[in-house]
Amino acid sequence: MSLLERTESTSGARAPRRRATARGPVSKALALIAALLGVAVLTGCGGSSSGSVQTVDPKAFLTTASQPGTVVVDVRTPAEYAAGHIDGAVNIDVEASTFDAEVAKLDKNATYAVYCHSGRRSGLATDAMGKAGFTHVYNLSGGIADLASAGGQVVTS
Protein backbone atom coordinates (compact mmCIF):
# COMPACT_ATOMS: atom_id res chain seq x y z
CA MET A 1 0.00 0.00 0.00
CA SER A 2 1.36 3.42 -0.96
CA LEU A 3 1.64 6.35 1.42
CA LEU A 4 -1.23 8.11 -0.38
CA GLU A 5 -3.45 5.03 -0.11
CA ARG A 6 -2.63 4.65 3.61
CA THR A 7 -3.41 8.32 4.28
CA GLU A 8 -6.75 8.07 2.48
CA SER A 9 -7.73 4.85 4.19
CA THR A 10 -6.85 6.01 7.72
CA SER A 11 -8.20 9.55 7.68
CA GLY A 12 -10.94 9.33 5.10
CA ALA A 13 -9.63 12.56 3.63
CA ARG A 14 -7.52 12.76 0.55
CA ALA A 15 -3.99 14.02 1.07
CA PRO A 16 -2.95 16.92 -1.14
CA ARG A 17 -1.09 15.83 -4.21
CA ARG A 18 2.13 17.40 -5.28
CA ARG A 19 1.91 19.35 -8.48
CA ALA A 20 4.03 17.92 -11.23
CA THR A 21 6.63 20.35 -12.47
CA ALA A 22 8.51 20.29 -15.73
CA ARG A 23 12.24 20.06 -15.41
CA GLY A 24 15.06 20.10 -17.82
CA PRO A 25 16.35 22.28 -20.65
CA VAL A 26 12.94 22.92 -22.24
CA SER A 27 11.39 24.31 -19.07
CA LYS A 28 14.50 26.41 -18.42
CA ALA A 29 14.29 27.82 -21.94
CA LEU A 30 10.61 28.63 -21.49
CA ALA A 31 11.33 30.34 -18.17
CA LEU A 32 14.08 32.40 -19.81
CA ILE A 33 11.76 33.43 -22.67
CA ALA A 34 9.04 34.42 -20.20
CA ALA A 35 11.53 36.47 -18.19
CA LEU A 36 12.83 38.25 -21.29
CA LEU A 37 9.30 39.06 -22.44
CA GLY A 38 8.51 40.44 -19.01
CA VAL A 39 11.57 42.68 -19.11
CA ALA A 40 10.64 43.88 -22.61
CA VAL A 41 7.13 44.78 -21.48
CA LEU A 42 8.34 46.55 -18.34
CA THR A 43 10.95 48.59 -20.21
CA GLY A 44 8.56 49.66 -22.95
CA CYS A 45 10.39 47.85 -25.73
CA GLY A 46 8.71 48.26 -29.10
CA GLY A 47 5.55 50.05 -30.15
CA SER A 48 5.01 53.73 -29.63
CA SER A 49 5.59 53.72 -25.92
CA SER A 50 8.60 55.99 -26.30
CA GLY A 51 8.32 59.27 -24.44
CA SER A 52 8.90 61.15 -27.69
CA VAL A 53 6.00 59.50 -29.58
CA GLN A 54 2.37 59.70 -28.53
CA THR A 55 -0.48 57.93 -30.28
CA VAL A 56 -3.58 60.12 -30.24
CA ASP A 57 -7.19 59.99 -31.40
CA PRO A 58 -8.36 62.06 -34.41
CA LYS A 59 -9.66 65.01 -32.33
CA ALA A 60 -6.39 65.32 -30.38
CA PHE A 61 -4.45 64.89 -33.63
CA LEU A 62 -6.33 67.78 -35.26
CA THR A 63 -5.81 69.95 -32.18
CA THR A 64 -2.08 69.25 -32.27
CA ALA A 65 -1.92 69.74 -36.04
CA SER A 66 -3.52 73.18 -35.71
CA GLN A 67 -0.85 74.43 -33.28
CA PRO A 68 1.66 76.93 -34.71
CA GLY A 69 4.87 75.22 -35.81
CA THR A 70 3.42 71.70 -36.03
CA VAL A 71 4.39 69.90 -39.23
CA VAL A 72 1.72 67.51 -40.51
CA VAL A 73 3.26 64.53 -42.30
CA ASP A 74 1.39 62.14 -44.61
CA VAL A 75 3.45 58.94 -44.90
CA ARG A 76 1.38 57.31 -47.67
CA THR A 77 2.51 56.92 -51.27
CA PRO A 78 2.60 59.97 -53.57
CA ALA A 79 -0.42 58.57 -55.47
CA GLU A 80 -2.44 58.27 -52.25
CA TYR A 81 -1.36 61.75 -51.21
CA ALA A 82 -2.44 63.20 -54.59
CA ALA A 83 -5.86 61.53 -54.27
CA GLY A 84 -6.51 63.42 -51.03
CA HIS A 85 -4.53 64.61 -48.03
CA ILE A 86 -4.95 66.82 -44.99
CA ASP A 87 -4.58 70.47 -45.94
CA GLY A 88 -1.00 71.62 -45.36
CA ALA A 89 0.49 68.13 -44.99
CA VAL A 90 3.86 67.24 -46.47
CA ASN A 91 4.31 63.83 -48.08
CA ILE A 92 7.15 61.56 -46.98
CA ASP A 93 6.44 57.99 -48.10
CA VAL A 94 7.49 55.67 -45.26
CA GLU A 95 7.87 52.74 -47.67
CA ALA A 96 10.11 54.63 -50.11
CA SER A 97 13.85 53.99 -50.11
CA THR A 98 14.35 57.73 -49.48
CA PHE A 99 12.34 57.83 -46.22
CA ASP A 100 15.31 57.79 -43.84
CA ALA A 101 17.19 60.44 -45.84
CA GLU A 102 14.12 62.72 -45.98
CA VAL A 103 13.45 62.35 -42.27
CA ALA A 104 17.12 63.07 -41.49
CA LYS A 105 16.64 66.54 -43.04
CA LEU A 106 13.89 67.43 -40.54
CA ASP A 107 14.34 69.38 -37.29
CA LYS A 108 14.33 66.79 -34.49
CA ASN A 109 13.01 69.35 -31.99
CA ALA A 110 9.97 70.42 -34.04
CA THR A 111 6.50 68.96 -33.45
CA TYR A 112 5.22 66.43 -36.00
CA ALA A 113 1.71 65.04 -36.48
CA VAL A 114 1.96 61.89 -38.62
CA TYR A 115 -0.85 60.01 -40.37
CA CYS A 116 -1.49 57.44 -43.10
CA HIS A 117 -4.44 55.41 -44.40
CA SER A 118 -5.08 53.12 -41.41
CA GLY A 119 -2.39 53.70 -38.79
CA ARG A 120 0.06 50.93 -39.69
CA ARG A 121 2.48 53.03 -41.74
CA SER A 122 2.29 56.05 -39.44
CA GLY A 123 3.18 53.70 -36.58
CA LEU A 124 6.25 52.53 -38.49
CA ALA A 125 7.21 56.11 -39.33
CA THR A 126 6.76 57.49 -35.82
CA ASP A 127 8.68 54.57 -34.29
CA ALA A 128 11.57 55.32 -36.67
CA MET A 129 11.38 59.03 -35.84
CA GLY A 130 11.39 58.35 -32.11
CA LYS A 131 14.42 56.06 -32.47
CA ALA A 132 16.15 58.75 -34.57
CA GLY A 133 15.85 61.24 -31.70
CA PHE A 134 12.75 63.26 -32.59
CA THR A 135 11.29 64.69 -29.41
CA HIS A 136 7.69 65.68 -30.22
CA VAL A 137 5.92 63.19 -32.49
CA TYR A 138 2.18 62.47 -32.59
CA ASN A 139 0.92 59.33 -34.33
CA LEU A 140 -2.71 59.20 -35.43
CA SER A 141 -4.67 56.25 -34.10
CA GLY A 142 -6.60 55.40 -37.25
CA GLY A 143 -6.27 56.95 -40.67
CA ILE A 144 -7.19 59.79 -42.96
CA ALA A 145 -10.87 58.78 -43.10
CA ASP A 146 -11.00 59.11 -39.32
CA LEU A 147 -9.48 62.58 -39.59
CA ALA A 148 -12.05 63.59 -42.21
CA SER A 149 -14.86 62.29 -39.97
CA ALA A 150 -13.46 64.34 -37.10
CA GLY A 151 -13.46 67.51 -39.20
CA GLY A 152 -10.08 67.44 -40.89
CA GLN A 153 -10.07 69.18 -44.26
CA VAL A 154 -9.02 66.79 -47.05
CA VAL A 155 -7.74 68.47 -50.21
CA THR A 156 -6.42 67.23 -53.54
CA SER A 157 -4.17 70.10 -54.61
The closest alpha carbon to 152, from 56, 77, 48, 78, belongs to 56
Whether residue 45 lies in the annotated active site? no
- Radius of gyration of the chain, Cα coordinates, nearest whole angstrom: 26
Distance CA 110, CA 116 (A): 20
| Cβ atoms 111, 138 nearer than 8 A | yes
- How far apart, in Å, are the Cα atoms of 100 and each of 53, 97, 110, 120, 142? 17, 7, 17, 17, 23
User: Could you say which of 65, 86, 114, 116 is catalytic?
Assistant: 116
As annotated, the active-site residues are: 116
